[in-house]
A and B are shown apart, each in its own frame.
Chain A
C-alpha cells in the first residue's frame, strides 16, 4: 500500500507548513524521485518483480530501499460496548542507502499511533534516527520499536503491541488466525500505469485483545487486526494527487484490500480479495468500483466519509461508513485514517485511509 508514500508525497506537493523536518525528508524523496522513474541514480535498490519474499528475513528492515513501513490497524469492541479503532505504524525513510553507526545513520524512523473512539481521535507521533538504537526492526525474534512503543513477538504470528501518547495508551496482544497474504504478483505490487511498484504483503487476520488507556479510564477490548508490510524506493507518478485505501473484513470471514490512486486520466485502482481460507485473488482496476457518497468537513477540508464499494465479481455492494468522521492524523504530514463499518451486501468492519484532500 504505497498510500503512505503517497501520503508523504502529497504532504509535500500540496505545500503544507513544514513544522517538523520529517516531512521535508519526504519532500527530498519526492524531489529526487521525480527525476527518474524506475531507475534510481542515488544507489537505492528498486522493487524487483522476480524477487521472492523470504521470511522471517523480510519482516525486518530493508535499508537499501528508500521507504518502508510496518502498519497495523485494528477494529476493536470494548467491554463497555463501544467500538474502537487502533493504529500503530512505524515508517522508515532513508536519506542514503545502507545503515551507518550512531548519529551518522541516514535511516530515519517515524512512528504514528492513533486510538479512535466514536467521538474522539487520539494521535501521537515519534521520530528517531537509526544507528543509535532508539528505533528499528529486528526480523527474528521480531521486534519493531521506536522509543517505548513496541510491536514484538517470536514471529508475526503472535505480537505484543504497545504505544502511548500524552493522553492515551494501548497494550494489545495479537494472534494470527491465517497465513500471510502476498499482494500483486507474489508480493510485487504495481502502483501506477507507468509501472511504479513496491514489495507488499500483509497479515490480515489477527485476533486482538487487550486494554486501552483513555482519559476516562481503562477499557478492555477484543477485535481483529490487519498488518501491512511494504517497502519501495520509487515515488508515485507525478500526476497522481491522492489516494483512498480500504481494508475490509467481512463477517463471513472474507477480506478485501483495495485502493484507488486519484489523478491522471483515470484513477489507478487495484486490490486483493482474500477468501476466508486465506486464498487470494488479485483485483483488477476495472473490477473494483470505489465511489464517495458523502463528504464532511475535517480540518477545513472536504473528506468523503461514506463510500460505496462494489466488486461485482464477488457480489460485493456495500456502504462503508467512518466510525468517527474526524479521524484526522494531524502529524508531520497529515492524512485521514480511521475505522469503518460495512453494511449492505456484506457486513463487517475495516480501516480507511485517505490522502490528498485539500
Chain B
C-alpha cells in the first residue's frame, strides 16, 4: 500500500518536472549560498586556530617595554637572576613585493614552534633558515629588486601563518635591522626553585609591563564582525531560498489535494500519508542539499581567495586562500537543507491534517479575504522592527546591531503584501480604462501567490541598496580622508638610522620639508598601539582630518600639552576632548605618562588604536626610537624626478620610496578587495530573488490560465495578454523596488552608524547615490521582465484548446 501510495504521490513530480526543478533549485540555491558562507567562515576560523597553534598554542604571559623594545642586556640580566624567559623580536618589513611580519625567536628557549623543528635531513635549518608559508614566499616574489628578499634563506613551511616570516632571532634582527632589540619576553611556565628568594620581575625590571597577551582574541574580535556579516548574508540568502521552497511545496500540495483526498478515501491512513509526504520531502531536501553543497563549494572556492585577501588586508588575519572540505560542514549543510525544507513546508503539512476528507475540490483562494492576513502580517512586521530597535537601545555590541537589521528586514518583508495591496488599490481607484482597471485588480488578487517572491526581492534589493550605499559612502569618505591624510608627496623608508641621516643630507634644498615619521608602541587596556611623534608643520595643521578638537589643538600638541588619538581609540575607551570649559579626558600611556586628549582624528582602515604626540614628548618618554621613515613635502611637479633620484642614490638602496599617488592607489586597492565579497554576495542574492519571481510565476502558471481564459474569451488576443503578464510582473517588481529603496537606506544608516561603530570603531557619514538606485531599479525591472517572459511566451503560444479547457463543463 505504501509503495502504491508513494508512487502515486511521486507521479505528481513526473508530471510537473518544472515544479520539481523549482523546488530542488530553490532549496539547492538556499543551501548553496548558506553553505558557501559557512565554508568560508570555517576556513577562516580554522586558519586562525592553526596560526595560534603554529605560534605556540596557549599564549604565555609576557613582558613588554613602554617604548616598544627591550634591550638585550635586560634580558640577559633577568636570565642570570634566575628568570626563565624567552625573547621574541617582531616587526614588519617590506620584502620584495610585499610587507611581511617578521617574528624572530630564540629556538633554544622558545617553547616549541612546529615550523622550526628541524628535520632529519637538515638538522641545522633551525638557525640558518627563515620559514614562511609558500604563499608568503610567492607574494615576496623571486624577481624582486630587493636584495634582502633575494638573499633571505627562506624555507617553505605550512606551519607558519600566512604573511609571516619566522626564524631565529639572529636572522630576524638582521632582517629588521634591530640588533640587540627584543619586542617582548615570554615568561616560561617552568621557573626554577632558586637558591635565594628570587627578586620579583617588578623589582628587577620595573620598566617592563607584564601582561597576558590576547592576540588570538584580538583577531577573533576584529574578524568576528566580518564573519557575522557574512553569516547574516548567508542567512538572508537562505531565507530567500526558503521563500521559493515554501511557495513550491505549497503549490504542489494544493495541486495534489484531490489526489491526497482520493488516497485517503481509498484507505491510506492519514498518518501514513503524512509520513510519506514527510519522507518525500526529506528525500528531496537531501537531493537538493547535496546539489546545494556542490554549489556552495564552488561559490566558496570562487570567493575564498578574496575573503582571504580581505581578512589579510583589513585585519592582518592569516587566512589561507584555499578551501578544505570538512565533514561538519557537509553535515550542517544537509541539516540546514532538511530543516529549511521542513520549515518551509510546515504550513502545507499542517493543512494536510486539517483537510476534511470530503470537502469539495478547490483552487487556491484568490482575492480579497487575504486583507485580514495582510494586516496580521503587517502587525507582526511592526513588532519585529520594534524588537530590533529595542535590542539596540538596551544592549551594546554587534549582535543587537544585527538584531536591528534582522528586525527591520524581516519586518519590512512581512509588511510588504499589505503595502503593495494598498498601492494597488490606490492605483486601481485612479484608473479608467477597463483593461488597466482589470490589471490593477488582477495584480492585487495575484499578490498572495507572488508575495513570497516579492518579499525575497524586497530583501535582496534593500540589502543591495543598503550595502552598496554603505560601501560607496565608505569609499567616498575613505578617498577624501586619504587625500587629507597623505599630504606628503613622497614617503621614504631607510634601512637604518644612519641612512636616515644620509637621506636628510641628500634632500637638503630639494624639498620644502622633511617630516620624520617616528613611533613607539604602547599597550593600553591590553591593546597594542602606536604612538607617533610629529614635528609641528603646516601640512598637519592644514590637512589632518580631525573629528573633534579645539582650534588650538595643534599648538597644544606642539607644546607637548596634549595628544591626538584616532577615532577607534576614542570610541572604544570613551576618550574625548572636553567641551570648552571642561577638562579633556586623560590618556594613560603607561609608565606614568599621562596626556590630555585634545583631539580625535579619523583613521579608517586601521583596526588598532593610534596616538599622536609631539616628537619631543615621545622621545622624552619612549627613549631613542628608530628614525627611518620620512614624509617629504615638495612641489608635486618635482615628485617624479625625486623618486627616480632617490631610487638610484643610495647603496645599499633605501628600504622603500613611495609616492603619494601609488600609496593611495594601493590603499584603494585594499579597500576594494575588502568589499569584493560583499558585492559578489549582493549579486548572488539578487539573482536568487529574480529566480524566486521566475519560479513563482512558473508554478502559478496553471492557476493563471483560469484567470486569463475568460479575458481572452471576451476578446483579447493571447499576445496581448502575454504582454500584460510581463507588464504585471514588471509593475509588481517596480513597486517592490520603490519600497525597497527607503528600507535599503535605513539599512545603510544602521550599517554606517550602528554596525560600523561596533565592528570597526568608526562612524561614517552617509552619502546618497541616486544613479546607483536607478541602475538597480533598471536591473530589477529587467529581471522581472525576464522572469515573466517564459510564462508569457507560453501564454502567447498556447493553443486555444488549452485555454478552452478552462471552460470545459466536466471538471
- Minimum Cβ distance to chain A for residue B186 (Å): 15
Least CB distance, A217 to chain B, in whole angstroms? 12
CB of A80 within 8 Å of the partner chain: no
Interface code B78-105, partner A: CB below 8 Å = 1, 0 otherwise? Answer: 0111101000000000000000000000
Partner of B193 from the list A102, A108, A129, A168 (CB cut-off 8 Å) is A168
Contact check, B123 vs A31: say whether CB atoms are below 8 A apart.
yes
Q: Which of B75, B108, B120 contacts A108 (CB 8 A)?
A: B108
B 172-218 contacts with A by CB, 8 A: 173-174, 179-180, 190-195
A167 to B84 CA separation, bound complex (whole angstroms): 14
A168 CB contacts on chain B under 8 angstroms: 193
Given contacts A124-B192, A165-B193, contact A95 B80 (CB under 8 A): no
Q: From residue A241, how far is it (CB to closest CB) to chain B in Å?
A: 19
- Contact B76–A133 (Cβ < 8 Å): yes
> Which stretch (A17-25, A222-230, A245-253, A276-284) binds chain B?
A17-25
Q: Which residue of A lies closest to B191 (CB)?
A: A166
B205 CB to nearest chain A CB (Å): 15
Are B82 and A27 in touch, CB under 8 angstroms? no
Contact of A166 among B120, B169, B193 (CB under 8 A): B193
CB-based contact B80/A129 at 8 Å: no
Q: Is the CB of A134 within 8 A of B76?
A: yes
> How many residues of A are counted as interface, with CB atoms below 8 angstroms from the partner's CB atoms?
36
A132 to B80, CA, bound (A): 12
A221 to chain B, nearest CB (A): 14
Q: A297 on the interface (CB 8 Å rule)?
A: no
- Nearest CB to that of A105 among chain B residues? B170
| Minimum C-beta distance from B190 to chain A (A) | 5
A103 in contact with B173 (CB, 8 Å): yes
A54 CB–B CB distance under 8 Å:
no
A169 interface contact, C-beta 8 A: yes
How far is B79's CA from A108's CA once the two chains are assembled, in angstroms? 16
Contacts of B169 in A (CB 8 A): 103
Q: Is the CB of A147 within 8 A of B82?
A: yes
B106 partner residues in chain A, CB cutoff 8 A: 103, 129
A41 to B75, CA, bound (A): 36
A15 to B72, CA, bound (A): 35
| B527 touches A (CB below 8 Å) | no
With most chain B CB atoms within 10 A of its CB, the pick from A21, A132, A162 is A21
Can you name the residue of chain B whose Cβ is closest to the Cβ of A164? B192
Of A22, A28, A164, the contact of B195 (CB 8 Å cutoff): A164
Q: A102 near B179 (CB under 8 angstroms)?
A: yes
* A133 partner residues in chain B, CB cutoff 8 A: 73, 76, 80
Would B108 and A127 count as touching, CB distance under 8 A?
yes
With a cutoff of 8 Å between Cβ atoms, the chain B residues found around residue A343 in the complex are: none
Residue of A25, A31, A127, A148 with highest tally of chain B CB at under 10 A: A148
Taking CB atoms and an 8 Å cut-off, the chain B residues in 101-122 that contact chain A are 106-109, 116-118, 120
Q: Looking across the interface, which residue of chain B has its beta carbon closest to that of A103? A: B170
The answer to whether the Cβ of A145 comes within 8 Å of any Cβ in the partner chain is yes
Which residues in chain A, 68-106, are within 8 Å of chain B measured between CB atoms?
95, 102-105
Known: A21-B107, A127-B109, A132-B76. A148 touches B194 (CB 8 A): yes
Q: How far is the CB of B125 from chain A (nearest CB, A)?
A: 9
**Alpha-carbon separation in the docked complex, A132 to B71 (Å):** 11
Docked CA distance A166–B198 (Å): 13
Among A20, A129, A165, the residue within 8 A (CB) of B192 is A165
A166 to B75, CA, bound (A): 20
One of B76, B118, B173, B174 near A24 (C-beta < 8 A):
B118
Q: Check A213 for interface membership: any CB of B closer than 8 A.
A: yes
Interface bin, chain B: 20 to 34
> CB distance A134 to B79 under 8 Å?
yes
Residue of A whose beta carbon sits closest to that of B189: A166
Contacting pair B117 A18 (CB below 8 A): yes
Contact of A134 with B80 in the complex, beta carbons under 8 Å: yes
Chain B residues with Cβ below 8 Å from A127 are: 108-109
Nearest Cβ on chain B to A358's Cβ, whole angstroms: 17
Flag whether B126 is at the interface (Cβ < 8 A): yes
B151 to chain A, nearest CB (A): 16
Q: Report the nearest A residue to B117, measured CB to CB.
A: A18
Is A317 among interface residues, defined by CB-CB distance under 8 A? no
CB within 8 A of B124: which of A24, A129, A145, A167? A24
Residues in B with CB closer than 8 Å to A166 are 190-193
B108 pairs with A22, CB closer than 8 A: yes
B127 interfacial contact with A, CB 8 Å: yes
Min CB distance A13 to B, Å, is 11
Nearest chain A CB to B156's CB is how many angstroms away? 19
Q: Is the CB of B76 within 8 A of A169?
A: no
In the bound assembly, the distance between CA atoms of A275 and B169 in angstroms comes to: 50
Q: Which residues of A from 157 to 214 have beta carbons under 8 Å from B?
A: 162, 164-169, 171, 213
For A15, the chain B residues whose CB sits under 8 A away are: 120
Give residues of chain A (12-69) contacting chain B, Cβ–Cβ below 8 Å.
Answer: 12, 15, 18, 20-22, 24-25, 27-28, 31
Q: Mark B370-403, 1 if CB is under 8 A from A, else 0.
A: 0000000000000000000000000000000000
**Do A169 and B195 form a contact, CB below 8 Å, given A128-B79, A148-B80, A148-B82?**
yes
Instruction: Please tell me if the beta carbons of A18 and B170 are within 8 angstroms of each other in the complex.
Output: no
User: Given A27-B123, A95-B127, A103-B169, do A128 and B194 touch, yes or no (CB 8 Å)?
Assistant: no
Cβ of A331 to closest chain B Cβ, rounded Å: 13
State A64–B455 Cα separation when bound (angstroms). 81
Asked if A213 and B80 sit within 8 Å, CB to CB, the answer is: no
Q: Who on chain B is nearest to A27 by CB?
A: B123
Contact (Cβ within 8 A) B108 A24: no
Indicate whether A213 sits within 8 Å of B195 (C-beta atoms), given known contacts A103-B173, A147-B82. Answer: yes
CB-defined contacts of B173 to chain A, threshold 8 Å: 102-103
Within 8 A of B (CB), among A281-329: none
Contact A147 B79 (CB under 8 A): yes
Q: Is the CB of A128 within 8 A of B192?
A: no
> Which residues of the partner chain B approach A164 to less than 8 Å between Cβ atoms?
82, 192-195
Contacts of B127 in A (CB 8 A): 21, 95
Report the separation of the CA atoms of residues A69 and B670 in the bound assembly, to the nearest whole angstrom. 56
Do B124 and A213 touch (CB < 8 A)? no
Cα-based distance from A148 to B79 in the complex (angstroms): 7
B195 neighbours in A (Cβ, 8 Å): 162, 164, 169, 171, 213
Q: Which of B72, B118, B124 contacts A18 (CB 8 A)?
A: B118
Cα distance A128–B124 in the bound complex, in angstroms: 16
Q: Nearest chain A CB to B275's CB is how many angstroms away?
A: 58
Q: Which residue of A lies closest to B196 (CB)?
A: A171
Give the CA-CA distance A95 to B192 in the complex, in Å.
28
How many angstroms from the CA of A296 to the CA of B441 in the assembled complex?
A: 99
> Which of A122-146 touch B at CB < 8 Å?
124, 127-129, 132-134, 145
User: A residues within 8 A CB of B180?
Assistant: 102-103
A95 engages B193 (CB within 8 Å): no
Contact B123 A28 (CB under 8 A): yes
Contacting residues, chain B, for A104 (C-beta < 8 A) = 170, 174
CB neighbors of A among B551-577 (8 A): none
**Which residues from B are CB-within-8-Å of A95?**
124, 127
Assuming A21-B116, A95-B124, A134-B76, is B82 touching A129 (CB within 8 A)? no
Chain A residues with CB under 8 Å of B117's CB are: 18, 21
Give the top 5 A-B pairs by smallest Cβ distance, nearest first.
A103-B170, A127-B108, A148-B82, A164-B192, A24-B123
A residues contacting B by CB (< 8 A) are 12, 15, 18, 20-22, 24-25, 27-28, 31, 95, 102-105, 108, 124, 127-129, 132-134, 145, 147-148, 162, 164-169, 171, 213
Q: List 22 A-B contacts (CB under 8 A).
A: A21-B107, A21-B108, A21-B117, A21-B126, A24-B118, A27-B120, A27-B123, A95-B127, A102-B179, A103-B106, A103-B170, A103-B179, A103-B180, A124-B192, A127-B109, A128-B108, A132-B75, A133-B76, A133-B80, A164-B192, A164-B195, A213-B193
Additional pairs, 5, CB under 8 Å, beyond known A21-B108, A127-B108: A24-B123, A103-B72, A103-B179, A145-B80, A168-B193
